[in-house]
Amino acid sequence: MNQTAASSLAHADAETSRALVIKNLVKEYTPGKPVLSGISLELEARGITAIIGPSGTGKSTLIRCINRLVDPTKGEILFKGKDLAKLSGKQLRLARRHIGMVFQEYNLLERLSVMENVLSGRLGYVSPFRAWLRKFSEADMQRAFELLDQVGMADFADQRADALSGGQRQRVAIARALMQSPDILLADEPTSSLDPKTSVEILDLMTEQAKIRNIPVVINIHDVTLAKRFADRIVGMSSGHVVYDGAPDGLQDEHLKAIYGGEDWLS
């Protein structure tokens, strides 16, 4: 094998060892006005990555491009050997089985029970007919009970989702995402609707579950203090660009000024 081929193979191996590789990602909702301006990131196969930045800077768009709730304009999103940006139809549905998602507003089916909401995390693995009938295997039922116990919601299995508090709903949403047996977990502002105590509990739960399953978590979060407390890596965004990418203890005031602009809010 010549040196060029060996180098290419080594580069390919390095990429496949990452959980996610994003290359020159651009998203324009309006032509010529990018919300994401050539984002490139590599995420390891474990650990917590917090994405911080002001509202409107592209944090949620980045998360939603990764799981293809939003279609990117340009760039690559390499996940499990495939470019998510180029997938469609069945291939995209199969890839998204492995991407768990936790939303800011929970996105639970309010009229269904807690157990039914958790089981909905398996819909990508059953036939449309069985999904319509809500027919799940005994193994899936057992797995759902185990997850509810792990997130502290086992006693609420038969309760309707619309009777839960915000923190309880987010616990159910986390269980639903984990029901997919994901290889990566994405969370879009999962604590913004919660009080400070519950926010810490939810981030602690997500961190614990990620370590148990040895999967990476990517969290969009406004609270810089919580990001520094829970994340292994912080990505700071401003106007669609990455302006900081590093360890939490390396995040200094000058970085925060570059991310958020101005100085008054730091005092």
Q: Which domain holds residue 51?
A: 18-97+228-267
pTM metric for this prediction: 0.87
Q: Is 71 a member of any domain?
A: yes
Domain-located, residue 4: no
Give the DSSP per-residue string, 76-97: EEEETTEEGGG--HHHHHHHHT
**Amino acid 16: pLDDT:** 47
Task: With beta carbons less than 8 A apart as the criterion, state whether 35 and 29 touch.
Answer: yes
- For the chain, list residues with pLDDT below 50: 4-16, 267
Domain count of the fold of the chain: 1
What is the helix (H) or strand (E) element at residue 40, kind and residue range? strand 33-43
Tell whether 196 is covered by a domain.
no
Write the CATH number for 239. 3.40.50.300
Whether residue 111 is contained in a domain is answered as: no
Instruction: Spell out a b/e string for 126-152, using b for 16 or more CB atoms within 10 Å of the CB, else e.
Output: beeeebeeeebeeebeebbeebbebbe
Tens-place pLDDT, residues 18-50: 789 999 999 999 999 999 999 999 998 889 999
What does the DSSP 8-state code read for residue 240?
T
pLDDT of residue 228: 96
Nearest one of 71, 30, 58 to 243, comparing CA atoms: 58
Looking at the domain assignment, is residue 74 inside a domain? yes
Quote the pLDDT of residue 133. Answer: 61
3-state secondary structure 132-195: HHCCCCHHHHHHHHHHHHHCCCHHHCCCEHHHCCHHHHHHHHHHHHHCCCCCEEEEECCCCCCC
Question: What pLDDT score does 13 carry?
Answer: 47
Look at residue 246 in the predicted model and tell me its pLDDT: 96
In a domain, 152, yes or no: no
Tell me how crowded residue 25 is: count the other CB atoms within 10 A of its CB: 25
Report how far residue 254's alpha carbon sits from residue 135's, in angstroms, rounded to the nearest whole number.
54
pLDDT of residue 4: 46
Q: Per the domain annotation, does 151 fall within a domain?
A: no
**Which burial class, exposed, middle or buried, applies to 155 when counting CB atoms under 10 A from its CB (0-12, 13-18, 19+)?**
exposed
Domain membership flag for residue 39: yes
Residue labelled with tokens 């089985």: 97
CB atoms within 10 A of CB 214: 10
Q: Which amino acid is at 108?
A: L
Amino acid 5 reads: A
Residue 104's pLDDT is what?
84
